[in-house]
Amino acid sequence: MALRRSLSCSNNATLPGTDRAAEPDRSDLPPELICANSNRSITMAQRQSLPCSKKVTLPDTDGAEEPDWSDLPLELVCLISQKIADISDFVRFGVVCKRWRCAVRASDLSPQLPWIMHEYDKYKEGNCRRFYSLLTRKTCTVNIPHSGDTSLVGSTNNYLLTRNWQTHECSLFNPLTKEELSLPPTPPEITFPSWVPTGPSFDPSSMYVVISRSRNLYFTPLYVCRPGDHEWIKIRDPYTPSRIQGEFKNSGYIFYDGKCYASTRETRSIKVIDLATSTVLHVVPRPEPSLTGFYVYLVVSFGRILRVCQYGKYSSKKNCLFRIYQLETGNRDGNQKEPCWTEIDSINNQFLFLHDRHGCAFRAEDFPGFEGNSIYFSKSNFMGKTFQLFSYDIKEKKIEELPGPVNLSHHWFLPSIC
């Protein structure tokens, strides 16, 4: 969705085209996305009121005249916008003047690294939430206007997931654009919903959400739906007796190519679920030895499905080891091959981000300062309540503590203004 369509080309201070019902309201974008942290910064209102004349005098320049950057060829403006890595700088770039505002498109924004929410203190922060940017290593405060009965219960791509504990109504919420997509109320037996990420698509029409978790340790079914659906669809599992359906509790899930891959709790096997029929198609056995004390992450990595096993204790910051497996499917020698895992020792120029049993993959060349063949992950500090960040060199098997907050929560999202 292009900023060309969604942003007004007048000197009006309202960014979105409010006459377009399908467009999200971007007028409440956090000030941190617009105001630069320097003495020469210009507020959003000042930038929009700047005339597109031949010479422009900027604040704090002692009367010195600056070149009229608004006269840059639009092709060059678009090219520059595609090279801007951080979403905050991208938004500031688009509000320099009306010509730039009309030329810059939201689709030009580079891939973004996650924002991770700080542990929330309702007595200090009210409706505000603090997010830590993995890219800039800075914290941004965002206002999330929800009632006291509504809680954040998860995240998926560029949305947070909310649930009203009185009405059980749910929604997907973009904290930057304030766009909200309604979901059906949760089924009665899902008392403590555990939400999981969707697949790589950011298109709400192709987005899936799965919930699980209940008070019953022996019966934790899976439900799936999409924005706009009227009810949650229960997953039918012919491989598992109903009395041990609780194996899905607190497990990892991913979506890929019309299927959901769910890691079971006890056996650590992977169940492949056809989303079109809501039925389990295959059960892929675990590849690693029967060891205890490890987490299983499922990651979609540029056309591959990876299973990442993390070994290490809660209290140890340096005692950590990862093993990575790739899912093999399809035909071999003309015969149908059952899905299985193959261990790999490198992910080449990619790096993984893992947090709270979910993760995503990125190319290192898109993010200067981040190393390929590495894993950036969180490790819980105390009883799984808060997290801090580390990096892991896959080749050298070395772990390094990263600078940043030590009170991060379970929730994270990929920032977007689309």
In sequence order, what DSSP letters do the residues of 359-404 get, joined into one string? EEEEEGGGSTT--SSEEEEEEESSTTS-EEEEEEETTTTEEEEPSS
CA angle 114, 325, 272 (to 5 degrees): 85
What tokens appear for 281 in the block?
Answer: 């198609």
Instruction: Provide the CATH number for the domain formed by 146-286 in this structure.
Output: 2.120.10.10
Phi, psi of 359 (to 5 degrees): -165, 175
DSSP 54-80: SEEEPTTSTTPEEE-GGGS-HHHHHHH
pTM of the predicted model, to two decimals? Answer: 0.76
CB contact set of 377 (below 8 Å; sequence gap of 6+):
310, 352, 353, 354, 355, 359, 389, 390, 391, 392
Q: What is the pLDDT along the chain (418 residues), one digit of tens a residue?
A: 433 333 333 333 333 333 333 444 444 555 556 543 433 333 334 444 444 444 445 555 555 677 777 788 888 988 888 888 889 889 888 888 888 888 888 888 888 999 998 887 654 567 788 999 999 999 988 888 776 778 777 777 788 888 888 888 888 888 888 888 888 888 776 655 555 555 444 555 566 676 665 555 555 677 788 788 888 888 776 555 544 444 555 557 788 888 888 887 667 788 888 888 888 888 898 886 655 557 788 899 998 999 998 887 554 566 788 999 999 976 555 566 788 899 999 999 999 999 877 789 999 999 989 999 999 998 877 666 678 899 999 999 999 999 888 888 888 889 988 7
Q: Read out DSSP for 268-300?
A: --EEEEETTTTEEEEEEPP-S-S-SSEEEEEEE
If DSSP codes are grouped into helix, strand and coil, which group holds residue 92?
helix
In the chain, the largest separation of any two C-alpha atoms, in whole Å, equals: 78
Domain ranges of the chain: 3-108, 111-136+293-412, 146-286
